[in-house]
Amino acid sequence: MTRAAVVGAGMTSFGVHDTPLQELFGEAAFGALDDAGVTTDDLDALYFGNAMSGQAENETHLGPRVASHIGAAGLAVQRFEDACATSANAFKNAVQAVDAGVHEIVLVGGVERCTPETGRDTAAMTRIFASASHRQYEQPTGLTFPSVFALLTKRHMHEHGTTEEDLASVAVKNHANGRLNPRAHFGKETTVEEVLDGPVVADPFRLMDCCPFSDGASAVVVVSDDLADSFDAPVDVTGIGHATDVVPIADKTALTATQAARDAAEEAYGQAGIEADDADFAEVHDCFTGAEILASEAIGFAPDGEGGRYAADGRTALDGDRPINPSGGLKAKGHPIGATGTAQIVELTEQIRGTVGERQVDDAETGVAHNLGGDSATTVVSVLEGRA
C-alpha cells in the first residue's frame, strides 16, 4: 500500500569537497526541490540527518542553519543521528508523518564530511567512527569499524565457507557499477587480483574491501499519496521497516544474521505486500564487502550462506538476476555517513524512473534500500515502486 511518494531527488557528487556543510546540503536540497518543481514555501517540515559533524567539525544544531541556507528558516526541522543509518531514519519518520496526515510535503536529506577536508586524519576519523561501537565494552579493545564487520564476516566465512575472493568480487562489481555513476567517489574499475593485493586494514578486509571516507549530501521531496498524482514522476514508498538489535556484538544471538535487517525487511515487505523475489534490485549498505554479503542474505536476495557465491557468480551484478548496488554502493559511490540513507532513496527513485543511463537495471519497477547503522544494530529497509 502506498504510504507516501518521492517526487523529487537530488544529491551532490560524493567525494572530496572543500565546501561547508550548509552549502553541500543546499546543492542536494535545491536539486530535489527543483526536480519536484516545488519551492521552500511549499514545505511543511524538514527531516534532516547528520551523524558526526559535532565530533568531526565542531558543528552542531545544524537544523536551522541548513534551513536558513535554503531559505526555509521558520520551518520545523528535526535532526536525526543513527550512525550510518542517519538519513534513512529521517526518511522513515518523514514517510510516517506524511502517511499519518501530519504533513503533506516535506524535504528529507542528510549531509556529512568525513575526508581530511574536515582537518581530521585517518586515525582521528577512525576514532570518531568507532564512537558508534560500545564505549565501555568494545572501544577499549581498540575496535574500529572495519574490524566490527571483520568480526561478523570472519564468522560468516567460518560457518559458510565464504572466501576472500567472494569478498573481492563484491568490490569488483561495485566499482564496475560506480564507473557508470557520474556522482560516484571512485570512477575506476578494479579486479579480484588487485583487491587481494591491497594492504590489510582488518583481516579479512583489505583496503579495497572498505568504502572510502567521503563528503556529500542528498535529499528527496516526500509528499502524501493524494498529492503525488499532481507531480510528474512520483515513485511510491510502499513499505518501510526499522528495527534494532542487541549491542554489544558479543551479546547478539547470531553474529552473521544482522537480525535488525531481517526484522526491518519483514516489516517493509509486509507493508508493501511483496516477497523479496518481487523486488527487481536493491541498494544495500556495503560499508565493507562482507557487509554486502550479510545484507544480501538478510533482505532475502540470496539464501543464507550463499551471499558470497551470488556475488562471485555475477548474480548480483547489473546484468545478474538479483542486481545489488547499481549505484556502485558505498564502496564505489562513497559514504558520507549522514547522506548515505537518502542517497539510496535517490538511486531507487531514479532507477524506477528509468533515468540513470548506462547503469540502468532492466525493468526496474520495485526497489529495496537497506541502510544500517553501527554494527548493524540499527537497520532501515525501504520498498519503493513505480506508480502504476
Residue positions annotated with a catalytic role: 84, 335
Q: Is 55 in the site for another protein (CB under 8 A)?
A: no
List residues bridging with 372 in a β-sheet.
379
Q: Is 229 in the site for another protein (CB under 8 A)?
A: no
- 146 vs 329, beta carbon nearer another protein: 146
Cell numbers of 268, please? 517493509
Q: Is 168 in the site for another protein (CB under 8 A)?
A: no
Which of 19, 144, 327, 344 touches another protein (CB under 8 A)?
144
Cβ pair 279, 363 in contact under 8 A? no
- 249 vs 356, beta carbon nearer another protein: 249
Strand extents, DSSP E, 50-150: 76-80, 105-113
Q: Is 140 in the site for another protein (CB under 8 A)?
A: yes
Cell numbers of 10, please? 537530488
CB of residue 114 to another protein, shortest distance in Å:
14
- 210 vs 221, beta carbon nearer another protein: 210
Contact region with another protein (CB under 8 A), list: 90-98, 176-184, 195-203, 309-317:
195-203
Which of 130, 222, 282, 372 touches another protein (CB under 8 A)?
130
CB of residue 266 to another protein, shortest distance in Å:
18
Q: Is 151 in the site for another protein (CB under 8 A)?
A: yes
CB of residue 174 to another protein, shortest distance in Å:
21
CB of residue 120 to another protein, shortest distance in Å:
9
C-alpha 171/C-alpha 308 separation (Å) is 12
Nearest to 172 by CA among 194, 185, 190: 190
For 15: left if phi > 0, alpha if psi spans -120 to 50, otherwise beta; the answer is left
Q: How many chain residues interact with another protein (CB under 8 A)?
A: 38
CB of residue 163 to another protein, shortest distance in Å:
15
Nearest to 218 by CA among 327, 345, 40: 345
Torsion over CA: 162, 299, 374, 121 (sign):
positive
Q: Is 101 in the site for another protein (CB under 8 A)?
A: no
Nearest to 14 by CA among 359, 362, 331: 331
Q: Is 230 exposed, middle or buried (0-12, 13-18, 19+ CB in 10 A)?
A: exposed
Give the orientation angle of helix 289-298 with respect to helix 259-272, to 10 degrees.
50
- Taken as a whole, the chain contains a residue count of 388
C-alpha 24/C-alpha 8 separation (Å) is 17
- 47 vs 288, beta carbon nearer another protein: 288
Q: Is 253 in the site for another protein (CB under 8 A)?
A: yes
Cell numbers of 1, please? 500500500
Question: What are phi and psi for residue 9, nearest 5 degrees?
Answer: -140, 140
CB of residue 59 to another protein, shortest distance in Å:
19
| Binding residues for another protein restricted to 106-125, rule: CB under 8 A | 122-124
Cell numbers of 299, please? 533482505
Q: Is 354 in the site for another protein (CB under 8 A)?
A: no
Which of 69, 103, 154, 242 touches another protein (CB under 8 A)?
154
- 58 vs 319, beta carbon nearer another protein: 58
Q: Is 139 in the site for another protein (CB under 8 A)?
A: yes
3-state secondary structure of 182: coil
Cell numbers of 210, please? 572498505
Which of 90, 106, 132, 150 touches another protein (CB under 8 A)?
150
Which of 19, 50, 93, 147 touches another protein (CB under 8 A)?
147
Nearest to 89 by CA among 235, 238, 242: 242
CB of residue 303 to another protein, shortest distance in Å:
22
Q: Is 255 in the site for another protein (CB under 8 A)?
A: yes
Binding footprint of another protein on the chain (CB under 8 A): 122-124, 126-127, 129-130, 135-144, 146-147, 150-152, 154-155, 158, 199-204, 246, 248-251, 253, 255
